[in-house]
Amino acid sequence: MTMSPLDPGGTEREVLRRLETILVVEDEVEVRRVVTLTLEHQGYRVISAACAAEALDLASSIDRPIDLLLTDVVMPQVSGKQLHDVLSASTPELPVLYISGYREEIVAVHGVAAHPGNFLAKPFAAAALGRKVRHLLRTTDN
């Protein structure tokens, strides 16, 4: 069976069951667009924002919980870590996937350890993104 480059794996039934909402926060327009399209293709509901302020506005205005925050680490004004800290004040168990094209030292300055648990280095493949998102969501499904 041939898989498309956007296919995270799993059966069609598993993909169709994915109704989790992911908040994508990325200041680079093209990266945000590709990540959003990839996740939507994988069956997720995606809300995307260009910055932390926009993300906070969107998060407060939607009528469903956010199941995962996917955020760039280094952004203007507010870092991805700071954004997660604010959002997790009202949703303590909110899982986060940090993404960055910067070296580990720069990422660490922004309060994020570039370890494989909840971090993806840019550029990344669509399949890797799908696997990482699924893993983080399964971990919190207990």
pLDDT for res 93? 92
Percentages helix, strand, coil for the chain (3-state, rounded to 5) are: 45, 15, 40
pTM of the model: 0.82
110, 116 Cβ separation under 8 angstroms: no
6 domain-assigned: no
Q: Is residue 2 part of a domain?
A: no
Tell me the pLDDT band of 19, cut-offs 50, 70 and 90: confident
**DSSP 8-class letter at 117:** T
What per-residue confidence (pLDDT) applies to 118? 87
Q: How many independent structural domains does the chain possess? A: 1
Q: Do the domain assignments include residue 112?
A: yes
pLDDT, one tens digit per residue, over 33-57 is: 999 999 999 999 999 999 999 999 9
111 vs 16, which has greater pLDDT? 111
* Higher-pLDDT residue of 60, 12: 60
Digit-coded pLDDT (tens) for 75-106:
889 989 999 999 999 999 999 999 987 667 66
- DSSP state, 86? H
Give CA–CA dist 92/8, Å, rounded.
Answer: 27
Which pair of tokens denotes residue 96? Answer: 């986060």
Split at pLDDT 50, 70, 90, the class of 10 is low
Domain span holding position 49: 12-140
Sole residue written with tokens 């760039």: 72
- CATH code of 116's domain: 3.40.50.2300
Q: Is residue 125 part of a domain?
A: yes
Could you tell me which of 93, 99, 84, 69 has the C-alpha nearest to residue 141? Answer: 93
Task: For residue 3, tell me if it sits in a domain.
Answer: no
Q: Output phi, psi for 85, to 5 deg.
A: -60, -45
